[in-house]
Structure 1
Amino acid sequence: MSSNTAPDRIDAVIFDCDGTLVDSETLSAKVALDMLAEHGVVLDYEDMLARNRGRQFARIVDELRAAYPHAVADDFIEDFRTRTLHTFRQHLQPIAGAVALVEALHLPMCVASNAPRAKIEACLEITGMLSHFQDRIVSAYEVGAWKPDPALVLAACALFDLPPERCLLVEDSVAGVEAGIAAGVHVLAYRIDTPGTHWPSDRVRLIDDLADVLTRVAA
């Protein structure tokens, strides 16, 4: 999407984590499917992947428990976190171009994610990006709000002491983009295919390559 007006100046960048910086969503979906399959529940991989993207995990588990109560025990989330961390340590990779981007970006940046801080830090550490963010991590579990609620994005803006219109959010989920729009930040929607969705062109641009982030902040 493009605008006829000159882009506003960007002074800080907010990254989502899962699916934007690290390729964790595919691994997480497979872990969840394996856990359900152990109890005789076989679900479609693409459906599970879509179900997970950009949503609060506790709500996903509530939906699964309502549909398959015999397969979702009280310790499902704890078991899932343990298994995914083990899987991440073996197989997690950064999204193509993510490491080069955070190394090249000379603006303040942070991560704002629906995930717990421990998971965010583990993913960034495993993929070699944690040092670029240090303590600049905003977790929905600490804010008490999950995307598409804009509070998480606004908390990230507050971390920089900047108004939303001076911040850029890089997101791979519809919920994240909607949170960014509601918060008033500029948004780069990374590899989101949403036929029929009309986002404001002065706030949202679609990108297929993380290198486009550098182009946007230099505009």
Structure 2
Amino acid sequence: MPLPYQLIIFDCDGVLVDSERITNTVFVKMLNELGLPLKLEDMFEQFVGHSMEQCMSKITAMLGQEPPAEFLADYRLRTKAALENELVVVVGIPEVLAQLTLPYCVASSGDHEKMRTTLGVTGLWSKFEGRIFSVTDVNAPKPAPDVFLHAAATMGFAPADCVVVEDTPTGVRAALAAGMTVLAYAALTPAQRLRDAGAHIIFGDMLELPALLAGGKPDRIAS
């Protein structure tokens, strides 16, 4: 029986690479250094899934002024070092990619430089090279659908024939806005938040993904 989709679009951070805790640990430490009394759980609640531009706007609002001019460059240097030392692939992803028979790509809120680091460190770069799409390629970040629509158009598929694997409410809303089916990976984000965002299916083990992809398009959101 033919599979119900023609293209699989993966988010990157938290879906392909286990980077969210690493980058957000650096992020919250730097925000603490600026005097913002935030904790790691605040990062997942307020920042994860958003573009860096959106995050910087949030920080400016919290501080009442723009952060120091060197903040962003320092953050990138510190996260790059942390990722190179600590990053691993999401458990199950190598096995999943080895089983896939459909075309697949990655569409992320991160920039290309970050993905070169994360996909390179984990050995996934060769699996996605030439099929890597960033928020920096489009006009509007998630939850706007732009990056997913750009990925689908570039790969040559209609949105209705695409399935997105996401792990944040922001990403789920973006994929839904693009008219795509959304399978939400509930690793660090509570399943209820993904459900509230409208994910069609929620799963907690990446090794479940091939069977979910073969199971047919869901006709309603997760209950």
Residue 82 of structure 1: how far off its partner (Å): 1.1
Residue 101 of structure 1: how far off its partner (Å): 1.4
Aligned to 2:121: 126
**Structure 2 counterpart SS, 1:43:** coil
Residue 30 (1) aligns with residue 28 (2): no
TM-score, length-scaled by structure 1: 0.88
Q: Which amino acid aligns with 2:148?
A: V
**Structure 2 counterpart SS, 1:211:** helix
Aligned to 1:194: 192
Residue 206 of structure 1: how far off its partner (Å): 0.8
Which one of 165, 169, 173 corresponds to residue 164 of structure 2?
Answer: 169
Aligned equivalents of 1:68, 1:197: Cα separation in 2: 30
The 3 A distance-change label for structure 1 pair 32 and 183 is: same
The 3 A distance-change label for structure 1 pair 198 and 13 is: closer
Which one of 5, 13, 19 corresponds to residue 14 of structure 2?
Answer: 19
Residue 71 of structure 1: how far off its partner (Å): 8.7
Q: Which amino acid aligns with 1:68?
A: L
Residue 211 (1) aligns with residue 207 (2): yes
Q: Which moved more, 1:163-172 or 1:204-213?
A: 204-213
Residue 194 of structure 1: how far off its partner (Å): 2.3
**Structure 2 counterpart SS, 1:158:** helix
State whether residues 25 and 52 of structure 1, in contact with CA within 8 Å, keep that contact through their aligned partners in structure 2.
no
- Written as runs of structure 1 = structure 2, the 5 A alignment for 1:105-120 is 105-120=100-115
- Written as runs of structure 1 = structure 2, the 5 A alignment for 1:44-55 is 44-55=39-50
Aligned to 1:3: none
Aligned to 1:143: 138
Aligned equivalents of 1:41, 1:186: Cα separation in 2: 38
Q: Which amino acid aligns with 2:191?
A: D
- Name stretches of at least 5 consecutive residues in structure 1 with no aligned partner: 1-6
Residue 69 of structure 1: how far off its partner (Å): 5.6
Q: Which amino acid aligns with 1:143?
A: V
Residue 142 of structure 1: how far off its partner (Å): 1.2
Q: Which amino acid aligns with 2:209?
A: V
Residue 143 of structure 1: how far off its partner (Å): 1.4
Aligned equivalents of 1:164, 1:84: Cα separation in 2: 33
Residue 88 of structure 1: how far off its partner (Å): 0.2
Query: What do you get for the CA RMSD once the two structures are aligned?
Result: 2.2
Aligned equivalents of 2:203, 2:92: Cα separation in 1: 13
Q: Which amino acid aligns with 1:136?
A: R
Residue 77 of structure 1: how far off its partner (Å): 1.4
Identity %: 34
The 3 A distance-change label for structure 1 pair 96 and 157 is: same
